[in-house]
Chains A and B, each alone.
Chain A
Amino acid sequence: MAGKEDLHKPLQLKGVKKLFKKGLKEKKEALKGVSLQIERGEIFGLLGPNGAGKSTLVKIALGLIIPSEGEVLLNGHNPSKPQAKKGVGYLPEHFRPPSRLTPETFMAFAGEMGSLSDNPLSPTDALTLVGLERSAWSRQMRRLSKGMLQRVGLASVLVHRPSFIILDEPLSGLDPIGRHDVKELLMQFNAQGGTIFLNSHILADIGNLCHRVGILHQGSLLFVGKIEELLAKTGRAQLEEAFLAMVKGEKDA
């Protein structure tokens, strides 16, 4: 059971395992007893190569995948319960809003879903906040670029003023200006007290954005801590080198 103090932690995972059926008898262990705690007000970056189990971990955190073993608490509640997701925003990887709708129509829906929270933003404010140009608001989504769609996705996450956001590869598909803008937006969100958990394989982005990082490889969490601690532990000067050293070290072992 969660203690009173634990209820204030946005996310807690204790010994989380996930086995996926692979054929009739064979099973694949996607997560091998992952324990992790996200502190309020921090930006946490989860790093890992493709197939490491990052998306599975995020989906378990949100109650979208049921863990085979272990305990998960989102805002102190079982994540499968709707009340656990109050104040939580999530943007999946490769998110594509309905192609025939315009950002305005879609945001009206997202805004109404958001109005289930106490103090939501207006849909237009959210679109302005993510920097989507006004001329794109009434264009069908299928006519928007990948970067624009990513901004619409972010707007739909921020519209209900969440205190904790989980983003799966939020910078993928964005041009350098878009990446800069989104990073600015995330830092601004964090400066206002928001907590961010992001999955990314773009190490350079993680490096100057996150307070702490975790390295997930083949379902195991190899490291959790500050970037300086990771650099010190591996004896490398760059995050990319340190990441490779951790992952390859695990492979060699």
Chain B
Amino acid sequence: MRKTALLARFTLIQGIKERFFVGLLVLLVFTFALSQYIGILSLANPVKVVTDLGTSSITFLALALILFFAITFLYKEREEGMLLLILSRPVSRVQYLVGRFTGFLLLLAPFLAVSFLLLAGLQMAIYSRVYQGLPWIPVALFLKFSVVLAFAVLSSVFFTEQITSLLATISFYVVCQLSHQATLIASQGSNPFAAKITLMVERTLPSFELYKPFKFAQAPLEYKLLLLFYSLLYIVAFILLATALLERKDI
């Protein structure tokens, strides 16, 4: 436990010091300024427009954060010898992977928190009110991106090439994002095979339809807890699979 916590803290420090992380925060401020401008121009419900645009920017940047850190960490650490140095200590591969994953979560959480605090602050300053469901939106995004993060860790252990791992994670994200829509379209079509396949994909992989931020914000607490459990199941499954793979891998 102590070694895992130590690795998580080290990952957080490493992440915060990365120029990419700081760059994302700068980009975030820029996109917020842009969304405020568009909000002022909108005719009706500017707070909702600003929240929509802000959430989309945060979603995009959070995905970039995950892809940058989770995909590159194993390759970079192997190349630079850090992985060898850490695993030559009394640290198991499971502790290493769980520690790194927890560290990425610790990096994602403040990024989302700071982003939404900034968004709320801007709304307060300009419109003297905050969008009603705003506090729940980062929670929905955190749950969704934790699942993507766990998959990114799994794919970086599985694939030997960084680019393959990156493409696999992006594909995973797109499929999970669109699986519900695809199932609906296929069920209305004339091809029963396509309908079966899309339904199978939607039932096997996590459906990101469930994490829609505005839907989540208005849902009852039971739904939120159920979604937490649903996310945890996928996270545990992906991390267990990743550790099983790493245990058998030559480093």
**Contact check: which of A20, A97, A98, A116 meets B3 at CB < 8 Å?**
A116
* A82 near B18: Cβ-Cβ < 8 Å: no
- Nearest to B6 among chain A residues (CB) is A112
Report if A82-B91 is in contact (Cβ < 8 Å); known contacts: A66-B248, A66-B250, A101-B13.
Answer: yes
Q: How far is the CA of A166 from the CA of B19 in the complex (A)?
A: 34
Within 8 Å CB of A93, what residues of B?
81
Q: How far is the CA of A95 from the CA of B78 in the complex (A)?
A: 10
Within 8 Å CB of B200, what residues of A?
none
> Does B88 lie at the interface of the complex (its beta carbon under 8 Å from any beta carbon of A)?
yes
> Does B184 lie at the interface of the complex (its beta carbon under 8 Å from any beta carbon of A)?
no
Q: How far is the CA of A92 from the CA of B87 in the complex (A)?
A: 11
> Does A8 lie at the interface of the complex (its beta carbon under 8 Å from any beta carbon of B)?
no
- Per-residue CB contact flags for chain A residues 84-118 toward chain B (1 = under 8 Å, else 0) read 01101111111111101100010001001100100
* B85 near A90: Cβ-Cβ < 8 Å: yes
Report if A95-B80 is in contact (Cβ < 8 Å); known contacts: A64-B251, A101-B14, A156-B85.
Answer: yes
The B contact surface, by secondary structure, is helix
> Does B86 lie at the interface of the complex (its beta carbon under 8 Å from any beta carbon of A)?
yes
- The total of interchain contacts (Cβ-Cβ below 8 angstroms) comes to 79
Tell me the chain B residues, 76-102 only, with Cβ under 8 Å from chain A.
80-82, 84-92, 95
Tell me the chain A residues, 141-173 only, with Cβ under 8 Å from chain B.
153, 156, 160, 166
- Per-residue CB contact flags for chain A residues 27-68 toward chain B (1 = under 8 Å, else 0) read 000000000000000000000000000000001001111100
User: In whole Å, how far is A169's beta carbon from the nearest beta carbon of chain B?
Assistant: 11
> Does B10 lie at the interface of the complex (its beta carbon under 8 Å from any beta carbon of A)?
yes
Q: Could you tell me how many residues of chain B have their Cβ less than 8 Å away from some Cβ of chain A?
A: 25
Within 8 Å CB of A105, what residues of B?
13
Q: How far is the CA of A59 from the CA of B3 in the complex (A)?
A: 22
User: In whole Å, how far is B25's beta carbon from the nearest beta carbon of chain A?
Assistant: 15
* B86 near A90: Cβ-Cβ < 8 Å: no
> Does A138 lie at the interface of the complex (its beta carbon under 8 Å from any beta carbon of B)?
no
> Does A83 lie at the interface of the complex (its beta carbon under 8 Å from any beta carbon of B)?
yes
Q: How large is the interface on A (under 10, 10 to 19, 20 to 34, 35 or more residues)?
A: 20 to 34
**Contact check: which of B13, B81, B85, B90 meets A83 at CB < 8 Å?**
B90
* A95 near B251: Cβ-Cβ < 8 Å: no
**Contact check: which of A20, A82, A94 meets B81 at CB < 8 Å?**
A94
Within 8 Å CB of A20, what residues of B?
250
User: In whole Å, how far is A118's beta carbon from the nearest beta carbon of chain B?
Assistant: 12
Within 8 Å CB of B86, what residues of A?
113
Within 8 Å CB of A94, what residues of B?
81
Q: How far is the CA of A150 from the CA of B19 in the complex (A)?
A: 24
Report if A64-B84 is in contact (Cβ < 8 Å); known contacts: A109-B10, A113-B3.
Answer: yes
Tell me the chain B residues, 221-240 only, with Cβ under 8 Å from chain A.
none
* B88 near A64: Cβ-Cβ < 8 Å: yes
**Contact check: which of A59, A66, A82, A95 meets B85 at CB < 8 Å?**
A95
User: In whole Å, how far is A201's beta carbon from the nearest beta carbon of chain B?
Assistant: 18
* B82 near A100: Cβ-Cβ < 8 Å: no
* A100 near B19: Cβ-Cβ < 8 Å: yes
Q: How far is the CA of A89 from the CA of B90 in the complex (A)?
A: 10
User: In whole Å, how far is A110's beta carbon from the nearest beta carbon of chain B?
Assistant: 8
- Nearest to B84 among chain A residues (CB) is A92
Q: How far is the CA of A220 from the CA of B201 in the complex (A)?
A: 51
* B85 near A98: Cβ-Cβ < 8 Å: no
Report if A100-B92 is in contact (Cβ < 8 Å); known contacts: A92-B84, A92-B85, A93-B81.
Answer: no
User: In whole Å, how far is A61's beta carbon from the nearest beta carbon of chain B?
Assistant: 10
* B251 near A65: Cβ-Cβ < 8 Å: yes
- Per-residue CB contact flags for chain B residues 237-251 toward chain A (1 = under 8 Å, else 0) read 000000000001011
Q: How far is the CA of A111 from the CA of B80 in the complex (A)?
A: 19
Within 8 Å CB of A98, what residues of B?
14, 17, 80, 82
* B87 near A64: Cβ-Cβ < 8 Å: yes
- Nearest to A67 among chain B residues (CB) is B250
User: In whole Å, how far is B231's beta carbon from the nearest beta carbon of chain A?
Assistant: 30
* B6 near A113: Cβ-Cβ < 8 Å: yes
User: In whole Å, how far is B135's beta carbon from the nearest beta carbon of chain A?
Assistant: 33
Within 8 Å CB of A97, what residues of B?
80, 82
Residues of B in contact with A (beta carbons under 8 Å apart): 2-3, 6, 10, 13-14, 17-19, 80-82, 84-92, 95, 248, 250-251
6 new A-B pairs (CB below 8 Å) besides A62-B84, A66-B250? A64-B250, A89-B88, A90-B85, A95-B81, A97-B82, A98-B14
A-B contact pairs, 25 of them (CB 8 A): A59-B250, A59-B251, A64-B250, A66-B250, A82-B92, A90-B84, A90-B88, A92-B84, A93-B81, A94-B81, A95-B84, A96-B82, A97-B82, A98-B14, A100-B17, A100-B19, A101-B13, A105-B13, A112-B6, A113-B3, A113-B86, A113-B91, A116-B3, A153-B85, A160-B89
